[in-house]
Structure 1
Amino acid sequence: MVGVAVCNSVSSIKALWETRIRRKKEEQEEEQEQKRRRKIGGGATGRLSFGIWEDRAALTRLRQKLQTEDGRLILRIEQEEWKSLPRCLVQLSQVQEWQIHRTGLQKIPPFISSFQYLLVLDLSRNGVSEIPKQIGKLTRLRELLLSYNRIQFVPEELSCCESLERLELAMNQDLDHLPDQFRNLKKLQHLDLSMNDFTCLPDCVVALPALEWLDMGGNRLQHLPEDIHRMEKLHTLWLQRNELKNLPENISRMASLDTLVLSSNRLSDIPPLMEDMSNLRFVNFRDNPLTLDVTLQPKKTNAEDDSDDGDDREMFGLEFMQMYIQEARKRAYAVQNMHKLSDDSSD
């Protein structure tokens, strides 16, 4: 009996010991798991705290870029690196004008639609490659300046910017198309599409009812539309450095046109009807392979006026155009008379 009791006692002690060891091991494992969780949680909290601090720092930095001019709140950033704009910028949604130049900005943020008081958005000379559709929410926007960027496509939503008066998209190089809805910009007066890849003047541009100033220089225009005279309010038209070979006669019906630049094209002649463009004040036909060789005579001036006035005429300007048309008419008459004499002699 004594031997049995001792045996049972040893077994109980062994079982109790093993149980304690197992519990101790489980407690250690549980403690390690809790430490691991606290470590992970602490890291997330740390990252969150860092993100909040980073936003606050960015917002403070942006606030330092605010200026007030003529009662207008302007955000001006120049020659600093801002490849993207932080979301915290929406806290400055009362800003009326963005002037952000040479920052390397690559994208207009979609939260641009939060800036309902924005009147001017000037992001010239950056690396912007896309105009977001949210731009159409800016119904008060008057000026959108995106020259010297990398934009290849203009979204139709831009036509919803009903207050837009000035749009500059010069030197985006690969831009060659505008959406037909563009014609809905009823207040657009100033449009710069120079130094891009257009091969024709878009019909939606011709249809703009308020357009007064248009620059299509430095494209690949091969012809102008026959109905170009629909641009009734246009007073300035820049078409230099294109591939135009002739001009439509209806260009003479552009009653408001006073400045026309056609230098560095492939024009062989000047439409005679342009002689009747009484409002035209400046024109330039320099560097075109015109058929006739016309040279203006130097102005005769008094000796005492030579030092002040001199011959300040544009040698391929308005006077040149008129003389060219007159000379072309004389030669046409001469050729016609020669044919008539030839016909008479044959009879």
Structure 2
Amino acid sequence: MVGVVTCSSVSSIKALWETRIKRREEEQEEEYKRKTARSATGRLSIWAWEDRAVLARLRKKVQTEDGRLVLRIEHEEWKSFPGCLVQFCQVHEWQIHRTGLLKIPQFISSFQSLLVLDLSRNSIAEIPRQIGKLTQLRELLLSYNRIQLVPEELSGCENLERLDLAMNRDLKDLPDQLRNLRKLQHLDLSMNAFSSLLDCVVSLPALEWLDMGGNCLQNLPEDIHRMEKLHTLWLQRNQLERLPENISRMKNLDTLVLSSNMLRDIPSLMEDMSNLRFVNFRDNPLTLDVSLPPRKTLTEDNEDEEDREMFGREFMQTYIKEARKRAYAVLNMHCINQLKEDTSDQ
């Protein structure tokens, strides 16, 4: 009997002990859940507070200018933008400069009222594909960034009139789909790494102003005259050795800058470009050494001083005339020598 009672007592004590341990474990688990919940609530409160603080800070940056809502941030550090920025999706312009911004947020597509997106002088390396959903966008200004690739979705910005990608250094190509930007008038691709004038650029039907200075262009396309509406073309600081004859067929071209290239000649047909008001051939290894004739009078007005500038329009015309004169002289000399040879043979 004693042994049975002892065994029964031990079993009871063991069962009681296990129950207490289990209950303690359950209590500890409940306490952990309560602490976790309080911690999460605290974090949510902190996040909510931070969002409110950011919103208050951003709200001060939204101004009304000429009837437009403008988000303007300059010389402040904003490497990225929080999602709460979408609460300002009615703004018409972003003017965000020198903030160290690293990327354009993907939620940019929420800003359907956006007309101007100016993110110049930041550290942006990529344009998100969502940019193509901004069908009302008129100006996209991304100069002085680190962009290496332009997505084909940008062609979806069907109302884009101005695109500035200057000074991104390593940018050397554009998607062919950009030829669909049928309203694009102003394109700045200067200070990049383009080695050719791309066909998608030549095919832009409304293009009026193009800057490709400071690239690596070695030649221009023979069908450059397809750019029928182009009136300003900047090609300074490239590696151009010759100009296509068809450049003379660009009837609307009035400004042509070709300084600091490798040109050795000027196409004679350029003499007929009557609308060309300003041209610059400075710092090219041209074959002929040409000087402008002196002015007829000392009292002549200075209105045409731009044309008078050395290597300008007057220089171009004088150069072409001199080149033609020398070509005739060489041809005449050849004819005389040929005649002498024929006479000697007789």
Distance 1:269-1:94 versus aligned 2 partners, 3 A rule: same
Following TM superposition, by how much is the alpha carbon of 1:59 offset from its aligned partner in structure 2, in angstroms? Answer: 1.2
Mean CA deviation greater in 54-63 or 286-295: 54-63
Matched, 1:77 2:73: yes
What amino acid sits opposite 1:184 in the alignment? N
Aligned-residue identity in percent: 71
Spell out, residue by residue over 1:304-342, the C-alpha distance to the aligned partner (whole angstroms, 9 max, x if none): x89x89977311100100100010011001101100110
What amino acid sits opposite 1:63 in the alignment? R
1:317 paired residue among 298, 305, 312? 312
Q: Which residue of 2 aligns with 1:203?
A: 199
Q: Which residue of 1 aligns with 2:150?
A: 154
SS in 1 for 2:279: strand
SS in 2 for 1:41: helix
Structure 2 residues without counterparts, runs of 5 or longer: none
Query: Does the CA-based 8 Å contact 1:301-1:310 persist in structure 2?
Result: no
1:336 paired residue among 331, 338, 345? 331
Spell out, residue by residue over 1:152-172, the C-alpha distance to the aligned partner (whole angstroms, 9 max, x if none): 111111111110000000011
Taking only aligned residues, the RMSD between alpha carbons, in angstroms, comes to 2.0
Q: Which residue of 2 aligns with 1:34?
A: 30
What amino acid sits opposite 1:314 in the alignment? E
Query: Does the CA-based 8 Å contact 1:194-1:215 persist in structure 2?
Result: yes
Following TM superposition, by how much is the alpha carbon of 1:22 offset from its aligned partner in structure 2, in angstroms? Answer: 3.6
Query: Does the CA-based 8 Å contact 1:77-1:99 persist in structure 2?
Result: yes
Once residues 258 and 310 of structure 1 are traced to their aligned partners in structure 2, the CA distance between those partners, rounded to angstroms, is 14
Once residues 257 and 236 of structure 1 are traced to their aligned partners in structure 2, the CA distance between those partners, rounded to angstroms, is 6
Q: Which residue of 2 aligns with 1:93?
A: 89
Once residues 198 and 33 of structure 2 are traced to their aligned partners in structure 1, the CA distance between those partners, rounded to angstroms, is 63
Once residues 111 and 173 of structure 1 are traced to their aligned partners in structure 2, the CA distance between those partners, rounded to angstroms, is 27
Following TM superposition, by how much is the alpha carbon of 1:24 offset from its aligned partner in structure 2, in angstroms? Answer: 3.0
1:346 paired residue among 330, 334, 341? 341
Once residues 31 and 200 of structure 1 are traced to their aligned partners in structure 2, the CA distance between those partners, rounded to angstroms, is 74
1:274 paired residue among 270, 281, 284? 270
Q: Which residue of 2 aligns with 1:222?
A: 218
Q: Which residue of 2 aligns with 1:290?
A: 286
What amino acid sits opposite 2:322 in the alignment? E
Once residues 131 and 62 of structure 1 are traced to their aligned partners in structure 2, the CA distance between those partners, rounded to angstroms, is 23
What amino acid sits opposite 2:208 in the alignment? E
Once residues 209 and 130 of structure 2 are traced to their aligned partners in structure 1, the CA distance between those partners, rounded to angstroms, is 27
User: How many residues get paired?
Assistant: 341
TM-score scaled to structure 1, two decimals?
0.93
Query: How do 1:103-142 residues align onto structure 2 when only pairs under 5 Å count?
Result: 103-142=99-138
1:192 paired residue among 184, 188, 194? 188
Structure 1 residues without counterparts, runs of 5 or longer: none
Once residues 340 and 300 of structure 1 are traced to their aligned partners in structure 2, the CA distance between those partners, rounded to angstroms, is 37
Mean CA deviation greater in 16-25 or 147-156: 16-25
TM-score scaled to structure 2, two decimals?
0.93
Following TM superposition, by how much is the alpha carbon of 1:180 offset from its aligned partner in structure 2, in angstroms? Answer: 1.1
Following TM superposition, by how much is the alpha carbon of 1:301 offset from its aligned partner in structure 2, in angstroms? Answer: 4.7
Q: Which residue of 2 aligns with 1:68?
A: 64
SS in 1 for 2:187: strand
Spell out, residue by residue over 1:9-31, the C-alpha distance to the aligned partner (whole angstroms, 9 max, x if none): 77766655554444333332222
What amino acid sits opposite 1:152 in the alignment? Q
Q: Which residue of 1 aligns with 2:162?
A: 166
SS in 2 for 1:241: coil
Q: Which residue of 1 aligns with 2:248?
A: 252
